[in-house]
Amino acid sequence: MVGAPRLPRPLSAGGTVTPRIVDMESADSMQVSARGAPAHTYWETRARRFARGGWGLRAVCSYGMPGFYNGYIHLVQACALRRWLRVAPGVRVLDVGCGVGRWSRRLAASGARVTGTDLVPAMVAEARRRARAEHVDDRCEFLQCDAAELSFEQPFDVILCVTVLQHILDPDRMQMALDRMSAHLAPGGRIVLLEAAPAWSDARCNTSVFTARDERTFHEAFARAGLGCTAIHGIDPLPLKTRFLPLYGRLPRPLALLGLAAITAVSLPYDLLFGGRQPQRSWHKLFVLTRT
Residues constituting the chain: 292
Residue 13 lies in a domain: no
Residue 29 lies in a domain: no
Give the H/E segment covering residue 48: helix 39-50
- Distance separating alpha carbons of residues 22 and 8, to the nearest angstrom: 21
**66: nearest Cα among 285, 270, 272, 262:** 262
235 within 8 A of 77, measured Cβ to Cβ: yes
Q: Which residues of the chain register pLDDT less than 50? A: 1-36
218 within 8 A of 175, measured Cβ to Cβ: no
Residue 138 sits at φ, ψ, to 5 deg, of -80, -10
Number of domains in the chain: 1
Residue 67 lies in a domain: yes
What are 185's strand-pairing partners? 156
Residue 165 lies in a domain: yes
**51: nearest Cα among 99, 6, 96, 112:** 99
Residue 5 lies in a domain: no
Give the H/E segment covering residue 116: strand 113-118
pLDDT at 64: 64
pLDDT at 169: 94
Q: Where are the alpha helices (DSSP H) in 184-288?
A: 215-224, 240-248, 253-274
Residue 59 lies in a domain: yes
- Distance separating alpha carbons of residues 25 and 81, to the nearest angstrom: 30
Reduce the DSSP state of residue 93 to 3 states and report it.
strand
Residue 2 lies in a domain: no
How many helical (H) and strand (E) elements, i.e. helices and strands, does the chain have?
10, 7
pLDDT at 170: 95
Q: If you write DSSP's letter for every residue of 51-71 in order, what string do you get? A: TTSTTSHHHHSSTT--HHHHH
31 within 8 A of 209, measured Cβ to Cβ: yes
Residue 184's CATH number: 3.40.50.150
Domain extent at residue 242:
39-291
Residue 21 lies in a domain: no
- Distance separating alpha carbons of residues 281 and 104, to the nearest angstrom: 29
pLDDT at 31: 41
pLDDT at 222: 99
- Distance separating alpha carbons of residues 45 and 30, to the nearest angstrom: 10
